[in-house]
Amino acid sequence: MTRLATIAALAALLVAGCAGGTAKPKVAPVVPVPTGIVPGSLPAEKLTLQLDTATEVKQAIASVGPQLLVSDARLWELHFGQRLVGALQLATLKPRVNPAHAADRASIVGQILGAEFHKIQVNGLPVWTVRDDGSQRAVYVWFGAHEFGVLQLKGASISPGQVADDLIARIAGEPAWQALPPQVYGP
C-alpha cells in the first residue's frame, strides 16, 4: 500500500458520497472529526497510527465541493515499523445524511465495499466488511450517530481481523464517538 494509493482511496470514498442532481446543496457548518479518539499505537499488533496532514489529503477533500455528503474527514496511516499496512478514515456527515436510516447506511456501504460484503460484530457494533484472504486485504466500515469509519488493511505482517477488532472497539468506545442506538440496526 503506497501513500498515493492511500490518498486515492480517500478521494474515492469522498467522491462516493457525492449527491447527484443539479440542485445546489446548502452549505452546512463543518463538524470536525474528533481526532483524539484514535490511539497513537496498537501495542498488541505493534502498529503505530499517524494522522496524515499532507496537503494532498486536504486538497482531495476540498476538490469535491459543496455537494459532498461528508462534513469533515481525517486520514491516518497505520505502520508496522516503517511499512505502511493500512489506512483509517473517519468522517463526519452533513445533516442530510442520517446513519440511523438503513438506506443511508446501505448507500455508503455499497459505495465503499461494492455488492460483495458481509456484516460482522465488533464488540457488539455492526461492521460491514469485505476480505480478500488471498491478498490479505480487508476493508471495514462502521457507523456512529453522525459519522462513519473506514479501515483498510493489507499485509502478511498483520492480522487484519485482530487489528480491526482492537481499533474499531477502541474508537467506538470513546465518548466522543456518538454511538447509534442498537435498535436502529434491527433484530
Give me the pLDDT at residue 64, please: 72
pLDDT value of position 28: 62
184 — pLDDT class (breaks 50, 70, 90)? very high
Helix, coil or strand: residue 31: coil
Q: Which residues pair with 184 in a beta bridge?
A: none
- Average pLDDT score, the chain: 83
Which of 23-27, 36-40, 66-70, 111-115 has the largest mean confidence? 36-40
In whole angstroms, give the CA distance from residue 115 to residue 128. 11
In a domain, 23, yes or no: no
Specify if 81 maps to a domain: yes
pLDDT for the residue numbered 133: 64
- 161 domain residue, yes or no: yes
For the entire predicted model, the pTM comes to: 0.85
The answer to the question of residue 18 being in a domain is no
The answer to whether the Cα torsion of 98, 49, 5, 74 is positive or negative is positive
Q: Is the pLDDT of residue 19 over 80?
A: no
Q: Is 140 domain-assigned?
A: yes
Sign of CA dihedral 117, 175, 92, 166: negative
The Cα–Cα gap between 13 and 61 comes to: 10
In a domain, 97, yes or no: yes
Place of cell 453522525: 146
Contact call for residues 87 and 75 (beta carbons, < 8 A): yes
CATH (domain of 113): 3.40.1000
The string of pLDDT tens digits covering residues 129-146 is 998 766 678 999 999 999
Give the span between the Cα atoms of 10 and 56, in whole angstroms.
Answer: 10
Q: Is residue 51 part of a domain?
A: yes
Counting the structural domains of the chain, the total is 1
Q: What domain range is 131 assigned to?
A: 5-9+31-185
Q: What is the pLDDT of residue 24?
A: 52
CA-to-CA distance for 75 and 89, rounded, in angstroms?
Answer: 5
The grid coordinates listed for 109 are 456501504
Tell me what pLDDT residue 17 has.
Answer: 47
In a domain, 101, yes or no: yes
Q: pLDDT digit string (tens) for 74-126?
A: 999 999 999 999 999 999 998 889 999 999 999 999 999 988 899 999 999 99
The cell for 55 is: 496537503
